Structure 1
Amino acid sequence: MNDRPAVLCLRFCRIGGGLPDSAAYEGLLALLGAFTPVVEAAPPGAALADVGGALRYFGQDAAGLASVIRVRALALHGVDCAIGAASNPMLARMAARQATAGTTFVVAPGEHAGFLASKPAAALDGVGAATARTLCGYGLDSIGRIAAAPLATLQRITGVRTGRELWERANGIDRTRVVPNAAARSIAAERSFPRDELDPEQHRRALLSLTEELGARLRGDGQVCRSLAVSVRYADRTGYATLTRSRTLAEPTAHSVALTSLAYRIQDSFALQRARVRGIGLRAEGLHDAERAAHQLTFDPVDERARRIEAVSDRLRARFGPGAVKPGRLAA
Structure 2
Amino acid sequence: MKSKSILHLDLDTFFVSVERLLHPDLANKPLLVGGLGDRGVVAACSYETRRFGVHSGMSMKVARQLCPQATIIKGNSSTYTKYSHEVTEIIKQAVPAFEKASIDEFYADLTGMDKFFGTYRFASELRQKIIKESGLPISFGLSQNKIVSKIATGEAKPNNQLLIENGQERSFLAPLSVRKIPMIGSKTFQTLLGLGVREIKTIQEMPVEMMESVLGKNGRTIWKRAHGIDDSPIIPFHERKSISAERTFHRDTINMVQLYATLTAMAESLAYQLRRGDKLTSVISVKIRYSDFNTYTKQAKIPYTSADHILIPKIAGLFSQLYNRRLLIRLVGVKFSGLVGGHYQINLFDDSEEMLSLYSSIDRIRNRFGENSVMRASTIGGTEIGGRMNPFNGEPPMLYAHRQS
Please report the TM-score for the alignment, with normalisation by the length of structure 2: 0.49
1:170 counterpart residue number? 226
**Contact in 2 for aligned 1:44/1:188 (Cα 8 Å):** no
Correspondence list, 1:267-306, <5 A: 300=377
2:87 counterpart residue number? 28
Deviations 1:3-47 (A, max 9, x none): 46x111111244636897323322322222233222100222111
Q: Summarize the Cα distance change of 1:301–1:43 in structure 2 as closer, same or farther, 3 Å threshold.
A: closer
Q: Summarize the Cα distance change of 1:92–1:213 in structure 2 as closer, same or farther, 3 Å threshold.
A: farther
1:179 counterpart residue number? 235
Of residues 127, 133, 141 in structure 2, which corresponds to 1:84?
141
2:7 counterpart residue number? 8
2:207 counterpart residue number? 150
CA distance in 2, matches of 1:136, 1:110: 28
2:167 counterpart residue number? 110
CA distance in 2, matches of 1:224, 1:30: 20
Deviations 1:180-202 (A, max 9, x none): 0167353279xxxxxxxxxxxxx
Q: Summarize the Cα distance change of 1:130–1:298 in structure 2 as closer, same or farther, 3 Å threshold.
A: closer
2:34 counterpart residue number? none
State the AA in 1 paired with 2:94: F
Instruction: Structure 1 unaligned segments of length 5 or more: list them.
Output: 190-208, 233-256, 269-293, 314-325, 328-332
Q: Summarize the Cα distance change of 1:45–1:217 in structure 2 as closer, same or farther, 3 Å threshold.
A: farther
State the AA in 2 paired with 1:166: I
SS of residue in 2 equivalent to 1:26: helix
CA distance in 2, matches of 1:213, 1:99: 38
Number of residues of Structure 1 aligned to a counterpart in Structure 2: 241
Deviation larger for 301-310 or 103-112: 301-310
Q: Summarize the Cα distance change of 1:264–1:92 in structure 2 as closer, same or farther, 3 Å threshold.
A: farther
State the AA in 2 paired with 1:11: D
CA distance in 2, matches of 1:231, 1:96: 22
Q: Summarize the Cα distance change of 1:116–1:296 in structure 2 as closer, same or farther, 3 Å threshold.
A: closer
Residue 139 (structure 2) pairs with residue 74 (structure 1): no
Deviations 1:248-274 (A, max 9, x none): xxxxxxxxx9986233688x9xxxxxx
Instruction: Structure 2 unaligned segments of length 5 or more: list them.
Output: 22-43, 45-76, 243-278, 283-304, 319-333, 346-353, 365-370, 384-388, 399-405
Deviations 1:209-230 (A, max 9, x none): 98478646984784469xx964
1:291 counterpart residue number? none
1:37 counterpart residue number? 96
Matched-pair identity in %: 17
Of residues 342, 345, 358 in structure 2, which corresponds to 1:261?
358
SS of residue in 2 equivalent to 1:82: strand
CA distance in 2, matches of 1:54, 1:311: 58
Q: CA deviation at 1:90?
A: 0.7
**Greater relative contact order structure (CA < 8 Å, 6+ sep):** 2
State the AA in 1 paired with 2:9: L
RMSD: 4.3
Q: CA deviation at 1:154?
A: 1.1
SS of residue in 1 equivalent to 2:94: coil
State the AA in 2 paired with 1:155: E
CA distance in 1, matches of 2:378, 2:281: 31
**Contact in 1 for aligned 2:102/2:342 (Cα 8 Å):** no
**Contact in 2 for aligned 1:215/1:259 (Cα 8 Å):** no
**Contact in 2 for aligned 1:135/1:141 (Cα 8 Å):** yes
**Contact in 1 for aligned 2:313/2:391 (Cα 8 Å):** no
**Contact in 2 for aligned 1:40/1:180 (Cα 8 Å):** yes
